[in-house]
Structure 1
Amino acid sequence: MLLYRIFAAIAFALYGLRLRLGAASPAAASERRGRGPTPAAAPRLWLHGASNGELTSARGVVETLLARAPDLSIIVTANSATGGTLVRSWGRGRIDTAFAPFDTRGAVAAFLDRWQPKALVIVENELWPERFVSCAERGIPVFVIGARMSRRSARHWGRLPGLRARIFSAIRFLSAQDAASEARFRDLGLPGDRLGPIVNLKSAVTTRGAAEPLPFPRDTTLLAASTHEGEEEQVLAAFRQARDARPDLRLLLAPRHPRRRDEIEAAIRKTGLSFATRSRGDAVTAGTDIYLADTMGEMDLWYGAAGMTFVGGSLVDRGGHTPFEPAAHASAILHGPHVANSATAYRALAQAGAAIEVTTPDALAEAIVALADVDRQADMTVRAHTALAELSGGDGLDVFYAALADATGLPLQNA
């Protein structure tokens, strides 16, 4: 642990210098050091997720915690500015947001002094040693829900037995997101009595009604959801090609990072198609070819408006985003070959014939045209619902709530 602390102090000091010299706001740099205004006293949990995907999957957990414990507040941290923006877009009271503190002894201590959490809840795979060890030293229990452990990560942790032991000793409760991850945690030495039932948070999607219908027929509307750099150009090329066969097609383009708006608009202009941009307040009409949905917290609206969804992060090697959200909204799924982040789910979809995998813009264009049919969409969405239902965590979250209640004294059990 000493060597890690020395390494972390140097690495985060250099990163902090980059923040000061870069475009980061003074408030963001201060939050990274665990500082900021002193919050009002209240029973509080600390929930951390890396960014948008993890926090989106944890939204149902957050809502349940707040509903079951009316006096509870939650400080939600993320590693990205967009993560905080997403949480604030929920418009929910009793939630504070901040950048996660640097994983150094001083920054974590300042954060814990400031917020005084009763427990730390980690979403998926953010295993930061200082946060875990500092919480354990203060008697703050650590919970990990929907934990993911890839083969590569397991090999990495396998080479660090001392550090791994310190982290695992701090964990009160861990629920893996799939059987393979659970087996890897066991093999790495996490005691079996600290393992809860498997919970895939991404399967627990709560759909929220669309408040603003779009003037497009749903069956001929494609959503490109959470696309990344290098991916929009491929989607746009495919859509432009598909339009030659089906001029009635429309595209909702929802990039993962809205800050990239200007470069994405430039790419859209090259297609020669008409477009409107959400963040600019542009009017969208039946004649709009492409709607750039570059805002946070509105993905439910776009899933609800699209009969088919291309899942981003899969044509470029970003691991692929979750298929559970489009499936929950009955939007037929297309995706690229890079789906390691949800490999089990995509494997189930493939076996059920419930999704279409493409590897090139030409293949995507062909798939879009073939899928722009209401009957085929309905068949695929039924197949997807059935295939993914088997991956649900069942009552695993209730076991988590009970364990958290036992550790904190909060009234979190199901009434």
Structure 2
Amino acid sequence: MIYRAAAAILERGLRLRAGRGGQDALRERLALDRIGPADIWLHGASVGELTSARPVIAALAQTHRVLVTANSLTGRDMAAGWGLPARLAPLDVPGALARFLDQVRPRLQVTVEGEFWPLRSQALAGRAVPQVVIGARMSERSALRWRRLPRLIAPVLGRLAALSAQDAGSESRLRALGLPDGAVLPRLDLKLLTPAGITPPPPGAERDRTLLAASTHEGEEIAILDAWMRARGQHPGLRLILAIRHPQRGNEVASLLAGLGIAFQRRSAGGAGGAVLLADTLGEMDRWYAAAGICFVGGSLTDRGGHTPWEPAAHASAILHGPHVGNFTDAYAALDAAGGARQVDAGSLADQLARLAGDASAARRMGQTARAVLDDRAGDPAILIKRLRELAGTHG
């Protein structure tokens, strides 16, 4: 009652502001303009959430009318760029929700990752619209905050028709807060669906002999080049693709290569082959992953937190990485434990490169293991998509 009363007071003030002109975004969030109908209302906070859910959104859009909402202009505009109806989400205030739902008339509402709005939940339930959360995430810190507000969170979770958590910890915490057992769907890490959808390239001798140093930073290239030259002394056919993180460093890294007397081609100048290719362009990383059977992931020899291991895993590349992987601690731990990745430092990188370059079968097995870990952690979206379509019913 307190929440609803406060929201109603807030809405009155916002409507006064919206009426003064020049408040298009606010009018959109108050649902004061015209909105077309949709079968499924899918909401994600912004670019990250919607991007992770794009494979699910695309599948639903094949069979139903989907309206995408976001809390940010960039998220809304990105979804519109996919060719889907998109707008800013209605605020969690009574009038805006009523106007929005009167026009859209959804048969299913889907939220990506987790925003729990009490009035939105209540309004949807009052119209018998099933509610689903996909890729749900609930940190320990967030769970602690919600435990102090059981009369808000428990009814919201109790009204969910289905929820697919991102990980076991989130699922457990959501259950403790009031998620019904019957609403739990198999876990799905939405951020891994896109890499899991990549078809790995076929194995081949040229790929076996190619090392990709992916997304390298200042201070890493010299160690990588030293290790590559030492490994190449044992395996003369070992090729290097040096894909620097920031292409604007191209001249700097080119000078480093020239200073070491290393012959190289430069991608920004049209190069595509040679013993060393300096990949100093944007938008071509998939090409380099596909070309390399061995991948060293940068940002991990120097303390940059590391970069994602899932792209090389998607391409079934054997993965090497440094000790600094704080941005993806759990991911690297799982890959290391399974044998799909190995941690190295500047001193051991050459030995590991030489071993993998000299044993193509071992490198291939390592890459296949990395891919298997990715597939297992991503989960199968087919069950989720089937359930969402069932809840949305036949396209009207």
> Is the pair's TM-score, using the shorter chain for normalization, greater than 0.5?
yes
Q: What's the CA shift for 1:84? A: 5.0
Alignment counterpart, residue 352 of structure 1, candidates 334, 338, 360 = 338
What letter matches 1:47 in structure 2? L
Q: What's the CA shift for 1:271? A: 4.3
TM-score, normalised via structure 1 length: 0.66
Match of 1:408 in 2: 392
Please list, as runs of the form range in 1=range in 2, the aligned pairs for 1:82-93 lying within 5 A after superposition. 83=75, 87=79, 93=83
Question: Is residue 2:227 matched to residue 1:236?
Answer: no
Question: Is residue 2:119 matched to residue 1:119?
Answer: no
1:110-161 CA-to-partner distances (Å, cap 9, x unmatched) read 5445544322212223334444344334432211122222222222222221
Do 1:311 and 1:333's aligned partners in 2 also have CA atoms closer than 8 Å?
no
Question: Is residue 2:197 matched to residue 1:206?
Answer: yes
* Largest Rg, 1 or 2: 2
Do 2:318 and 2:366's aligned partners in 1 also have CA atoms closer than 8 Å?
yes
What letter matches 1:185 in structure 2? L
Tell me the C-alpha RMSD between the 2 structures.
4.7
Please list, as runs of the form range in 1=range in 2, the aligned pairs for 1:140-155 lying within 5 A after superposition. 140-155=129-144
Match of 1:338 in 2: 326
What letter matches 2:65 in structure 1? S
Question: Is residue 2:24 matched to residue 1:33?
Answer: no
User: Could you tell me how far apart the structure 1 residues matched to 2:351 and 2:101 are?
Assistant: 51
User: Percent identity over the alignment?
Assistant: 35
TM-score, normalised via structure 2 length: 0.68
User: Could you tell me how far apart the structure 2 residues matched to 1:146 and 1:126 are?
Assistant: 11
* Number of corresponding residues: 356
Give the unaligned 5+ runs of structure 1.
18-24, 211-215, 225-231, 255-263
Do 2:32 and 2:99's aligned partners in 1 also have CA atoms closer than 8 Å?
no
Q: Determine helix, strand or coil for the equivalent of 1:171.
A: coil
CA separation of 1:380/1:217 partners in 2, compared to 1, >3 Å: closer, same or farther?
Answer: closer
Give the unaligned 5+ runs of structure 2.
202-206, 230-238, 256-264
Q: What's the CA shift for 1:173? A: 0.8
Alignment counterpart, residue 315 of structure 2, candidates 324, 329, 341 = 329
Match of 1:173 in 2: 162
Please list, as runs of the form range in 1=range in 2, the aligned pairs for 1:235-384 lying within 5 A after superposition. 235-246=217-228, 249-252=240-243, 264=246, 270-271=252-253, 285-286=272-273, 289-293=278-282, 300-301=286-287, 303-305=289-291, 307=293, 308=295, 310=297, 323-333=309-319, 336-339=324-327, 343=330, 345-357=331-343, 373=357, 375=360, 377-384=363-370
User: Could you tell me how far apart the structure 2 residues matched to 1:120 and 1:311 are?
Assistant: 40
1:354-384 CA-to-partner distances (Å, cap 9, x unmatched) read 22457x8x58977996698483642321121
1:253-304 CA-to-partner distances (Å, cap 9, x unmatched) read 56xxxxxxxxx55555554559777xxxx856548623342x6xx7755643
What letter matches 1:55 in structure 2? L
User: Could you tell me how far apart the structure 2 residues matched to 1:272 and 1:8 are?
Assistant: 62
User: Could you tell me how far apart the structure 2 residues matched to 1:411 and 1:171 are?
Assistant: 22
Alignment counterpart, residue 73 of structure 1, candidates 55, 65, 70 = 65
CA separation of 1:129/1:251 partners in 2, compared to 1, >3 Å: closer, same or farther?
Answer: farther
Q: What's the CA shift for 1:174? A: 0.7
Match of 2:153 in 1: 164
Do 1:284 and 1:291's aligned partners in 2 also have CA atoms closer than 8 Å?
no
Do 2:200 and 2:315's aligned partners in 1 also have CA atoms closer than 8 Å?
no
